[in-house]
Each structure stands twice: as C-alpha cells, then as structure tokens.
Chain A
C-alpha cells in the first residue's frame, strides 16, 4: 500500500495514501474539531469550515475532513489565524441559531453546544438577521422540522438521499436565506418522506426531532378512567440503558418493566409477544403462498418506513408485501379485544402506549385503517388500536422527569397474557432477525422436524444485502435480507425487472442495522453502536427460555382461547391489513 509522510504541527506521521488530514492528525494525538463531518454516512461536504487547517505554501485554509494527506505536507492545526477563523465561524453559526438551549429538545445532547464548550467560546459578538422567520414544520405525525435550529450541515440530505434513496430534503435558496428542507418549500407531509427518522439521528442540533408525545402519555396515566397498557419493542430492550450510562447492547428489559410500572402503567406488556404472533401469521402466510402458488417472493411488513417506501415508490409490487400488520399494530388490536375481554375491561377504557425505536411507528399508528378493535366491537369510541407511540428517546425523557434511578431498579417480569416473548422475537430488533425467526418456525411447521441448529448466521450482521437457502420438504427456500432503503431499492429494482423469481421470502428493514438503528433510538446511533446493539439482541435470544415463536405458551393460549388458528377469520379481522399506492405524492416539481 502506498503511503505518504507529512508533518502535523511539526510531528511526522506516515499514513496510507488517501487518508484525510483529520485522520492523519488523530494518529499523532491531534483532535481537529469538526461539526458537519459525519464519517458514518460518508458525509464530508466541508460545509461548516470548523475543521480548517493551514498548509504551508497555501494561501487559503483547507478543510481537514475532506483533504487527503500529501507527501511532504506541513499542516498546522492551531495557528492564531486558524483559531481565529474557527472561532469566528462558530460565532457566525451561533449568531444565526435559535439559542433557547434550556428548553431545546437536544439540550445536553447537542453537537453545537458541545463544540462551543470544546472551543471555549464564551461570547457571541455578532448579531443581526436570524432564521427566526422560517416556519416550524409539524405537518407529519413523527418528524418535526425546526429550521431556526438548522446549521445547514446537510447530513440529513446525505442520509436521506444516499442511505435511504428518498431524497425528501435539499439545500435551497441563496446566501443567508438558504434552507435545508423539502423541495419547493413543501411541507414534509407533502413529500416522499417515509418518516424513518434517520435524519433526526444524524441532526447535530434540534432542527429535526421526533414529535414529543410524552404529554399525551402523562395525561393518560393521570386519568383514573383509563386502563393504560404499554408494549415495549424488541430493539428498545438493548438500547434504553445507553441513556443511563450502560454500554450499548446491555439487556435492560427487566429494569424497563420495573420503570414502566413505577411510571404508573396498569399493565406492562412486550411487543416481543406480538412479534412471535407475527411469525405465526407471516410464516403461515409464506407456506400458504408457496403451497398455493401465491405471489412470491413475500416481503416482510413490520417496518412502517419500509411500507411507506413501497407505497410511494413501488406500488406495483405491493402484492408481494405480507398482509400481516406489524407487531405494534397486532398488539394494539389485541389489547382492545382479547385482553379487554379476558380482563373484563371496557375496550374503550383501554389506552395503548408503545415504546418503539422508531419514528415511523407514530405514522403507522395513525393510519386510518389501524382501528381494528373499533370495527370489531362496532364502537367508534374505541378509536385507534395504538393510542400513543413513544420513541426510545421520549421514554428516556419521561424516566428522567419522573426521577427514576434506572440502573438501581430491580429486574421485574412482564404482566401475564401478553408478556412472554421468545428469543425469536427478541432478534426482530436486528436486521435479519425477522427472517431468522420465521425460518425457525416455518421449518418446524413445514417439516414437522426439530431444527438441529436454530442459529442462521448467514442472515446476521451489517452486510447490506444477505442471502440464505434453507431446504424444507424438498423445496429449497431462498431468502434475502436488506436493511437501509438504498439496499431495499436495489432489490426492488431487481424484483421489478423479474430477476428474483426463485426467491421465496425477503426481509426489509428501513433503517441501517434494523430497528436497533431506528430513527427513534438514543442519539448517537452509529455503526459501532448498531453492532453492539445487534450483539445484545442475539445475547438476549440465547438467554431466553423459549427461542422459537411457535413454542411461546402465551401464543398457544391466544390461539386456543381467542384466535383459533393462524390466518383464521379473527386473525384476518385483527392482524392483517392491506396497502394502497400513494403515488399522488410522487409528483415532482
């Protein structure tokens, strides 16, 4: 490998050709400050100019984040001129920033705040026009845009365009009036945005955040007339602890249950339970499609960002999508039917809260057709199947506000009836997990044999597109797994072109890494954390008593007492749904 040798502040360093000055400096213990740079998503546009450095022989500065090291370079990272420019640039940003730090959603977890502290900037001498006139965009159920806090780093543009191939945001306007937002000054709700929230994860400030629905939950908890139940998604079991100083991937399930009880929920349930149910329904659907010549390959349907993506971009392929609702929506429908019935509660009194790693789940819960319980009972007063969706970040805020000393809590168990989840359900949180869980169950149902090895390593990990073949009753079942919508798009283009005819089942998760990397997860969420959280899912899977969905005793009871059988009449009433093209949105300027 070709190397180059250069000097950073006089220190010689040898690095592979193509290494950035930023990375070269890090090797000699020099941490050049950055703001807009985000290696994780390949974002190095050099917009903020915070990482400028001086290179001997060049009149102007260069940005360390995107300038490759050259042989013999003499780089200076802290000359008076560089420091003055860097500090003044930061003052410029701050003079144009809506600084209401104490009441800002990102207070205490803001990269701009952190940089001001790092550079010891204590005053902003510049003043003048501000971005105050840019309106807040709260047109969508999940994602709120506040351009007053935007520093135009363009990370959201990169993640939306390159990682998700949605391109709902762009840089527009000239000079001081430049703005990052939907093309043509549209509201976000009128764009192709799929609500995945990856933009909120990479936003350094609070220019893009999740809608805060915590007041609705506090109000429900305080209402004696409501029976408030909560469900926790698999991916939250290994992430919530990060906010309380625990390493990423730590299994905090028992503590989360205890914490939710202390917040005052009347029953604490597990979305893992309905993840197992999803496997029963979706696995049966897959076998039915294979045996009866249905539309193949079948596509998973648990990721609401992915469903939005299909409805927006590939409506012609919707027949491939499983009719199964997501575990969240299955839970809501059952909470207000099965659970209410078993407990002798009025369904209209049951209030369902979800804790999800996901912003798009807020959108999903508000879809008009997600009122199965209301239709089941013929009672409009029942309303939504899922009343409020909290992201991981919102729950963390509630726990903090309630003064719950999370790490000091004992481990507690979920309530009965909808509280048992298997290891198969736990791995729903990781890319490939739904596929692996489905294979564990579909194989045993189809063949009547017990799997010798239930770990399907081929579908695990951060590879963009993964593939496996599993022999079942003489059929070689071929499966694919994709995460991140750019990978999904690559597969859908092939499917559209007729190239994936011999595949049976494709799992897609909108977010990189799967739900553990969801748009509602703790910030930061980067590749390293995604890997640790994925490991956490498989560790918990191994530790659980049941590791196959069809072995879940509460699922057996549910079918016995209420549903009958997978794909039965009640399942179709409550657990299955349909999709529709939403191409009206695809109109471009």
Chain B
C-alpha cells in the first residue's frame, strides 16, 4: 500500500500543472517522505509530518488532482498504519502485493 500511494504521488507530480503550492510542493514532499519510508530510513516523526502534509494538501489544492493525492495519502495513513509501522521496523509486510503495472504507468 505504501508503494501504491507512492506511485500515485509520482503520477500526480508528472501531471500537476504546477500552479498551486499544495500539489506542486506538497505532493513532492510526500514523495520524498514516502521514499524514506520505503528505504527504511523514516522515523515516527517523518510519518507524523507526512500525515500533516497529507491533511494540508487534501482540502486545499486547487483542483481534484492535488486533492485526490492528499486524500489518498490521508486514507493510506489511516487504513494501513500497520504497513507504515512495518516499514519503520525495517520489514515490509505488504497486505497488497506490489503491482508492477503501476510503475509502467508512471514510467
């Protein structure tokens, strides 16, 4: 799930028009924080910050692309806490098998 939402942010970064701050910068910072999570470098503080970024982006981006990105992050953090926790602990117990099709979409 962490990977899935990361791919979604990659996609949004590619498509973002760059006009509004939450989408242009917020989803980029989200990407960077998720990368830390996936590399096993993230701390609890990083997750808390990621959550703040997500909650700031979701209602405030200028259009639905950015808002969806924020919301996807918010939901992922809410519903798959255990996955994030697993990454923090240094393992990955993905409940959703990584689907390489995602990577193909965002190149």
Contacts and interface: CB of A to CB of B under 8 A. Distances in A.
Interface of A: 45-49, 52, 59-61, 63, 81, 84-85, 88-89, 92-93, 95-96, 125-126, 128-129, 151-152, 154, 171, 173-179
Contacts of A126: 29, 49, 53
A178 B60 contact: no
9 contacts: A46-B62, A48-B21, A59-B59, A60-B60, A81-B55, A152-B24, A173-B18, A174-B16, A178-B18
Given A84-B52, A85-B59, A88-B52, A176 B28 contact: yes
Contacts of A52: 59-60
Contact of B32 (A46, A125, A129): A129
Contacts of B52: 84, 88
Main secondary structure of the interface of B (DSSP, over half): helix
Closest 3 CB pairs of A and B: A178-B18, A88-B56, A175-B13
Contacts of B53: 88, 92, 126
Q: What bracket does the count of chain B residues touching chain A fall in?
A: 20 to 34
Contacts of B59: 52, 59-61, 81, 85
Nearest to A172: B18
Contact of B16 (A45, A84, A95, A178): A178
Contacts of B21: 47-49, 89, 92-93, 151-152
Nearest to A126: B29
A175 B14 contact: yes
Nearest to A58: B59
Nearest to B48: A125
Contacts of B29: 92, 95, 126, 128
Contact of A152 (B14, B15, B18): B18
B62 A129 contact: no
Nearest to B27: A175
Contact of A46 (B14, B20, B25): B20
Contacts of A178: 16-19, 24
Interface in B23-71: 23-29, 32, 49, 52-53, 55-56, 58-62, 67
A7 to B, nearest CB: 20
Nearest to A176: B28
Nearest to B45: A125
B11 to A, nearest CB: 10
Given A85-B55, A152-B19, A178-B16, 11 more contacts: A45-B19, A47-B19, A52-B59, A88-B55, A93-B25, A128-B29, A152-B18, A154-B19, A175-B15, A175-B27, A179-B18
A541 B53 CA distance: 57
A151 B55 CA distance: 21
